[in-house]
Amino acid sequence: MSTNTSASANTTTLRVKAPPGFRVDAAALRPTALAALSVAEIEHLVLPAGNERCVVGDVFEVRRETAGTAAGKTAGNDDQPTLIVDGAARWLDRLGADMDGGRLVVRGSVGDYSGLRMNGGTLHIDGDAGHFTGCEMRGGRLTVQGDSGDFVAGALTGDMDGMTGGTLTIHGNAGARLADRMRRGLVLVGGDAGEFAASRLVAGTVGVAGKVGAHYAYGMRRGTLLLAQRPEPLPPPTFTGGGRGFDVFWSLLVRSLAAEIAPFSQWRADRLPVRYTGDLAVDGRGEILIAG
């Protein structure tokens, strides 16, 4: 194995040259892991694919650039390992899974489980993402420029905890069960969210700029659901009007969102939202803030 001490300043690019014809588990393609390997070692990595398997060199053209080159400057990270996956498609699952640092830039759309249990670094997806994006995420920053599927920031089947840390931003729409069982962190959706958004939310902040589907905030215990548009219908009978006296909290929240996507970054501290608290059916102490 290579022990190149300057690897942390390298940018590795994997360009798709021959799609394998089946779904591939790409969890091994992490910036910090590949930075410690030579190009030849990367090309010989085996990626699981159900009953099949493939070698990185058969699917990708592998290129390595050192800090200060054009590729390194484009990635914008001379001081940390950077991985670029160029020409990504929906057959690539688990990209960024268990990612612990560095920067992963994905040019194209991806499959399911992107950023699964990610706990550090930056994952940026230029296209769409599949189901379970950011599922059980623990830290770092994950950005999806397009749409994402169901169970974003949620929990795997049978698990009790969804996202527990980090920031997840989706510029397009999100599917059903957004942030189900989420415990900590920040999730922002620039478009619409499907049914059961923020269901069984334990803690953390979830924002939806567009419309939300039915049964939003179902079983909510704590945490905050931010809505930029007035939902139809308004919160169910298990939520009650939240009154006043949260202006200090609101001003701090607005300040923390100033660097995030619109409309959340454009909210003002002197324009208090309408507030509801619940879900009282589960003795919940969560809140829905409607700023639209």
Domains of the chain, by residue range, sit at: 128-290
Q: Work out the average pLDDT over 191-205.
A: 98
Q: CA 4 from chain center: how many Å?
A: 31
pLDDT of residue 72: 46
CA neighbor of 17 nearest in space, from 65, 71, 64, 57 = 57
Average pLDDT taken over every residue of the chain: 92
pLDDT of residue 3: 38
pLDDT tens per residue, range 211-234: 999 999 999 999 999 999 999 888
- Counting residues of the chain whose pLDDT is more than 90, the rounded percentage is 86
Q: Work out the average pLDDT over 32-42.
A: 96
> From CA 287, how far away is CA 292, in angstroms rounded?
15
Instruction: Write the DSSP symbol of residue 273.
Output: P
Q: Work out the average pLDDT over 88-113.
A: 97
CA neighbor of 149 nearest in space, from 109, 104, 199 = 109
pLDDT of residue 267: 96
Kindly report each contact of residues 262-267 with a partner whose C-beta sits within 8 Å and lies 24 or more positions away, as own/partner.
Answer: 262/190, 262/209, 263/209, 263/228, 263/291, 264/188, 264/207, 264/209, 264/226, 264/228, 267/291
pLDDT of residue 9: 60
Instruction: Write the DSSP symbol of residue 130.
Output: -
For residue 6, what pLDDT band results from cuts at 50, 70 and 90? Answer: very low
Q: Work out the average pLDDT over 170-174.
A: 98
Q: Decide if pLDDT at 8 tops 60.
A: no
